[in-house]
Amino acid sequence: MLMIAQIHDGWLMVLSYVIAFAASYTVITLIGEMSVHKDRLRLFYSAFTTGIGLWAAQFFAMMAYRTPLSANHHFYVFLLSAAVPFFAFLAAFSILSDTSPSSSKGRLAAGSLVAGTGVCAMHFVGVHAIHLQADLTYDSVWIFVSWALAVTASYVSFRLAYRFRGNSHGWKALCSLIMGLGAVGVHYMAMNGTTFRYDQPIDNTPIVAVSDMFVASTVGIAALFLSGISAMSLLVNRRLRAAELKYSSLFEQSPELVIVADNQGKVLRSNRRALEVAGYEAEEIVGRNLLEFVCPEDLASAQESLDKSLAGQGHSMEIGIISKTGSRNDVSVSSIPMLADGVLQGVCIIVKNITLDKMMKEQLRQLTERHELILNTMVEGVYGLGADRKTVFWNKAAEEMTGYSSADLIGLEAHDLIHHTHSDGTTSKPEHCAIFTAMKERKQVHMPDELFWRKDGSSFPVEYTVNPIVSAGSETAAAVVTFRDITELKQAREMIRRSEKLTMAGELAAGIAHEIRNPLTAIKGFIQLMKERMPVSYYDIILAEIGRIELITGELLMLSKPQAVEYQPTYVPVILDHVVTLLESEAIMHDVQIVRSYEGPSLQVSCDPNQLKQVFINMVKNSIEAMPTGGTITIEAKADRSDIVIVVRDEGVGISEDKIRMLGQPFYTTKEKGTGLGMMVSLNIVENHGGRVNVTSEPGLGTEIRVFLPSCLAS
* Residue 425, phi-psi category: left (phi > 0), alpha (psi -120 to 50), beta (remainder): left
Using a 10 angstrom Cβ sphere, with 0-12 exposed, 13-18 middle and 19 or more buried, the burial of residue 311 is exposed
Please determine, for residue 63, whether its predicted confidence score (pLDDT) is greater than 80.
Answer: no
The more confident residue out of 680 and 435 is: 435
Detail the DSSP E strand segments found in 139-210.
Answer: 194-198, 207-208
Q: How far apart are CA 554 and CA 546, in angstroms?
A: 12
Please determine, for residue 323, whether its predicted confidence score (pLDDT) is greater than 60.
Answer: yes
pTM, whole model, 2 decimals? 0.38
Residue pair 69/132 in contact by the 8 Å Cβ criterion: yes
666 contacts: CB under 8 Å, gap ≥ 6: 498, 501, 502, 504, 505, 676, 677, 680
The more confident residue out of 572 and 492 is: 572
Phi, psi of 158 (to 5 degrees): -65, -40
Q: What is the pLDDT of residue 91?
A: 85
Q: Could you tell me how far CA 627 lies from the centroid of its own chain?
A: 63
First and final CA of the chain: distance in angstroms?
A: 146
What's the pLDDT band for 116 if we cut at 50, 70, 90?
Answer: confident
What is the average pLDDT across 477-483?
80
Q: What is the pLDDT of residue 409?
A: 86
Tell me which DSSP letter residue 258 carries.
E
Q: What is the pLDDT of residue 558?
A: 58
Of 145-154, 250-259, 589-598, 665-674, highest mean pLDDT: 589-598
Q: What is the pLDDT of residue 99?
A: 43
Tell me which DSSP letter residue 532 carries.
G
154 contacts: CB under 8 Å, gap ≥ 6: 92, 111, 112, 113, 115, 116, 119, 179, 182
What's the pLDDT band for 165 if we cut at 50, 70, 90?
Answer: low
What's the pLDDT band for 510 if we cut at 50, 70, 90?
Answer: low
Q: What is the pLDDT of residue 36?
A: 39
Please determine, for residue 479, whether its predicted confidence score (pLDDT) is greater than 80.
Answer: yes
Q: What is the pLDDT of residue 4?
A: 46
Q: What is the pLDDT of residue 41?
A: 63
CATH domain 364-485 topology:
Beta-Lactamase (3.30.450)
Q: How far apart are CA 122 and CA 117, in angstroms?
A: 8
What is the average pLDDT across 3-16?
56
Mean pLDDT computed over every residue of the chain: 75
Give the rounded percent of residues in the chain with a pLDDT score beyond 70: 67
What is the average pLDDT across 6-22?
63
**DSSP H or E stretch at residue 235:** helix 212-253
Q: What is the pLDDT of residue 107?
A: 77
What's the pLDDT band for 670 if we cut at 50, 70, 90?
Answer: low
161 contacts: CB under 8 Å, gap ≥ 6: 27, 28, 31, 32, 172, 175
Of 34-38, 262-266, 590-594, highest mean pLDDT: 590-594
Detail the DSSP E strand segments found in 547-700.
Answer: 568-571, 592-598, 604-607, 631-640, 643-649, 692-698
Instruction: Kindly list the domain boundaries of the chain, sorted by start residue.
Output: 2-236, 254-353, 364-485, 506-563, 565-710
Please indicate whether the domains covering 364-485 and 565-710 agree at the CATH topology level. Answer: no
Please determine, for residue 315, whether its predicted confidence score (pLDDT) is greater than 90.
Answer: no
Please determine, for residue 645, whether its predicted confidence score (pLDDT) is greater than 80.
Answer: yes
Q: What is the pLDDT of residue 177?
A: 74
Q: What is the pLDDT of residue 206?
A: 46
254-353 CATH? 3.30.450.20
Q: How far apart are CA 307 and CA 296, in angstroms?
A: 17
Q: How far apart are CA 147 and CA 129, in angstroms?
A: 19
Reported CATH class of domain 565-710: alpha beta
**What Cα–Cα distance (Å) separates residue 11 from each residue in 18, 63, 278, 500?**
11, 10, 66, 134
Please determine, for residue 528, whether its predicted confidence score (pLDDT) is greater than 80.
Answer: no
Nearest alpha carbon to residue 389 among 429, 447, 449: 429
Q: What is the pLDDT of residue 209?
A: 45
| Chain segment 30-48, per-residue pLDDT in tens | 665 554 344 566 677 677 7
The more confident residue out of 151 and 374 is: 151
Of 88-97, 175-184, 501-510, 610-619, highest mean pLDDT: 610-619
Strands 328-340, 315-322: pairing kind: antiparallel
Give the rounded percent of residues in the chain with a pLDDT score beyond 90: 3
CA atoms within 13 A on the CB side of 178: 17
Of 133-142, 317-326, 356-365, 542-551, highest mean pLDDT: 317-326
Please determine, for residue 101, whether its predicted confidence score (pLDDT) is greater than 70.
Answer: no
Q: How far apart are CA 228 and CA 214, in angstroms?
A: 20
Q: How far apart are CA 686 and CA 694, in angstroms?
A: 11
| Chain segment 689-712, per-residue pLDDT in tens | 889 888 888 888 888 999 999 988
Nearest alpha carbon to residue 267 among 246, 292, 233: 292
Q: Is the dihedral of CA 325, 327, 332, 333 positive or negative?
A: positive
Q: What is the pLDDT of residue 707?
A: 92
Q: What is the pLDDT of residue 629?
A: 87
| Pure H helices in 325-384 | 355-377
Q: How far apart are CA 341 and CA 164, in angstroms?
A: 10
165 contacts: CB under 8 Å, gap ≥ 6: 28, 31, 32, 35, 172, 341
Q: Considering only 76-80, 321-325, 394-398, which range has the smallest mean pLDDT? A: 76-80
The more confident residue out of 274 and 226 is: 274
Q: What is the pLDDT of residue 103?
A: 46
Please determine, for residue 340, whether its predicted confidence score (pLDDT) is greater than 70.
Answer: no
Type of residue numbered 413: E
What is the average pLDDT across 107-115?
84
Q: How far apart are CA 691 and CA 648, in angstroms?
A: 16
How many residues does this entry show for the chain?
715
What's the pLDDT band for 188 if we cut at 50, 70, 90?
Answer: confident
